[in-house]
A and B are shown apart, each in its own frame.
Chain A
Amino acid sequence: MNPLSKKVCLLGDFAVGKTSLARRFLYHAFDDQYVSTIGVKVSRKSVAVDTDAGVVELAMMVWDLAGSEAFDQMRASYLRGASGAILVCDLTRPATFASLRAYAEDVRRISPDARFVLAANKLDLVRPHQIDEEQLRRFANSLPAAYFLVSAKTGEAVELLFRELGRSLVS
């Protein structure tokens, strides 16, 4: 039997670390060099998700979308059919958190039933975080969604993030 397949999109402003989160989840790797993503890169990973009914094999089709505004027009066609979205912001840049509501609204408009998780990335950076966790919590509750403070660099909470989304997709 083919595993359950779900389309999951990574969304957020440029340089928040969407590609790095995908790479950490898919290949357990990290590259410090910043390379802007153009368009969309689709990858697939199967995960075993624990549910009340037992373990479900889920094929996650991870869509890593460009964060630059140049792709705003095209983003709608990428979001079509998405079952879930990971909204990513950068803990060191408050403006990237402020943008998340607009991304969430885009997803809601095109895929009303999509599930969300929130990822506040770059937890590893030493400087004081510019985004208040209480703000994150409130925004996550409004979606509703779970939120995670993650680091694509160290891998902290990245697996948890994707698994939580997987769990909400099969539940």
Chain B
Amino acid sequence: MNALPTQVILEDRKITYCITDRDLRVIQASDAAGLLASPDDVLGRSLLELTPELIGSEMVLADILAGKLPRFELAGVNRIADDQRTIYLTLISLPYNNSGGQVSGLIHLMQDMTDLVAIEQRVTQQRNELRLLRDELCRCNQQLAAAHAELQSLDEMKSRFVSIAAHELRSPLTAINGYLELLMDNGAGCFTDLQRDYLDIIQSSTHRLLSITSDLLDLTRIETGRLELVLQPIDLAALLRAVTNEYAAQIEAKGQQCTLLIPDGLPAALCDSLRASQILGNLISNATKYTPAGGAISIQLERAADEGFLQVAVRDTGVGIPVAEQKRVFERFFRASNALAAGALGAGLGLHITRALVELHGGEIWLESEVGQGATFFVTFPITDMPANTDRPEQLSRFARGR
């Protein structure tokens, strides 16, 4: 091969070469012929010894020597350079003809493809790492799904237990309450003042237990999706008056001022009258519970800013709710810190159930409060064009309390 132009081309393309005879012994080599050895070191040596990557391909090389194959190529051959860098070579074997046109040996080209393959390596690396992460994610998701299913099953078991326990407690409690009322009504003159006080305590505790069992039953119905509403057009103004009346004695006993603001001409709301009574009753009950004696409560019904809804606002002048706890008051079993400090009784279920009932109606519930300045709870109910049901709301409301 005549020197300069060929050498320049080979160097530019990062190609080195060697020529082997028919026995695959090196008879000529370019500088640093890709074999990581100087040409003098490689002359006379076996090609397979210098390029072990060709071991196994002897038959193919023999086919080229026999003129049966035009070429052989092996890409992606890794070598470690002196500086410990990985270099990537492509080996190409071609027939080498003598002046008589006979194949007298093979010419082996070794092209350094490191720049190109290094990019491919980075892409492959990133793709494989992403796949490993995806596999890991899949595995974690499967574990989470299994854990979730187990938790769900435990939760259902818990709900069933609570439901059964609440039902079982409710029956004897109802009997206790009934006989207690009979005792207090029929035997009024037989008791001393102290005994009368004891009976009052028993009755209030019984009411509280009945209320807790009702809440627990509602909670399990909500959590298991078994709570269904009977929606009908309701005169919400009348219902609100009726529910407020039920708390009149409680409000009066604490010397609280209650203002009811209801404009004329409001449309009917589409709601379940029993559950709507429960929602309103819970908010009014809380307002009177947390407002100190002599404080003020205002209850207002109006059209909501959100068109298509009526809005009820129940405002108290009680202890208020710290900002940090305002979002949590609707969580089950959560009790605001100052409610606890004030010694107010409750299981922390009322507002949780109230929110669930409001949302089942398609309405919203929220609050505004400042500590020491009281709180205002807002609920909305959807409006309907249909005329309100003619059932007397007082009856519906009383029925609601008897659940």
Contact = CB atoms under 8 A, between A and B. Distances in A.
Interface of A: 5, 7, 14-15, 34-42, 44, 61, 66, 68, 70-71, 74, 77-78, 80-82, 93, 95
Contact of A15 (B120, B121, B132): B132
State the 6 A-B residue pairs at the shortest beta-carbon distance, nearest first. A39-B76, A81-B56, A41-B78, A36-B125, A36-B124, A14-B128
B117 interface: yes
Given A38-B121, A68-B124, A70-B124, A5 B55 contact: yes
B78 A81 contact: no
A38 B52 contact: no
B212 interface: no
Given A36-B121, A66-B76, A42 B53 contact: yes
Nearest to A43: B52
B17 interface: no
Interface string B308-351: 00000000000000000000000000000000000000000000
Contact of B76 (A14, A34, A38, A81): A38
B131 interface: yes
Given A40-B76, A42-B55, A81-B57, 18 more contacts: A14-B128, A14-B131, A38-B76, A38-B120, A39-B77, A39-B88, A40-B78, A42-B78, A61-B52, A61-B55, A66-B124, A68-B124, A70-B124, A80-B59, A80-B60, A81-B56, A81-B58, A93-B135
B37 interface: no
A92 to B, nearest CB: 8
B75 interface: yes
Contacts of A5: 55
Given A37-B78, A38-B121, A40-B78, A80 B52 contact: no
B93 to A, nearest CB: 12
Contacts, number: 71
Interface of B: 52-53, 55-60, 73-78, 88, 117, 120-121, 124-125, 127-129, 131-132, 135
A15 B128 CA distance: 8
Contact of B75 (A15, A39, A61, A80): A39
A82 B56 contact: yes
Q: Which of A36, A37, A38, A66 has the most CB of B within 10 A?
A: A38
Contacts of A93: 135
Q: Is the interface of B mostly helix, strand, loop or mixed?
A: helix
B132 A44 contact: no
B124 A40 contact: no
Contacts of B55: 5, 7, 42, 61, 81
Given A36-B128, A77-B74, A42 B121 contact: no
Contacts of A14: 124, 128, 131
Contact of A34 (B78, B117, B129): B129
Contacts of A81: 55-59
B52 A44 contact: yes
9 contacts: A14-B128, A34-B125, A36-B124, A38-B78, A38-B88, A42-B55, A42-B78, A44-B52, A95-B135
A66 B117 CA distance: 13
A39 B135 contact: no
Contacts of A37: 78
Nearest to B135: A93
A137 to B, nearest CB: 24
Contacts of B52: 42, 44, 61
B125 A35 contact: yes
A14 B123 CA distance: 13
A38 B117 contact: yes
Given A14-B128, A68-B124, A68-B128, A80 B57 contact: yes
B327 to A, nearest CB: 38
A15 B132 CA distance: 8
Q: Which of B60, B77, B124 has the most CB of A within 10 A?
A: B124
A122 to B, nearest CB: 12
A74 B76 contact: yes
A81 to B, nearest CB: 2
A40 B120 contact: no
Contacts of A68: 124, 127-128
B53 A40 contact: yes
Contacts of B88: 38-39
Nearest to B118: A38
Contacts of B56: 7, 80-82
B128 A71 contact: no
A44 B53 CA distance: 11
Nearest to A70: B124
Q: Which of B75, B76, B132 has the most CB of A within 10 A?
A: B76
A15 B53 CA distance: 23
Contacts of B53: 40, 42
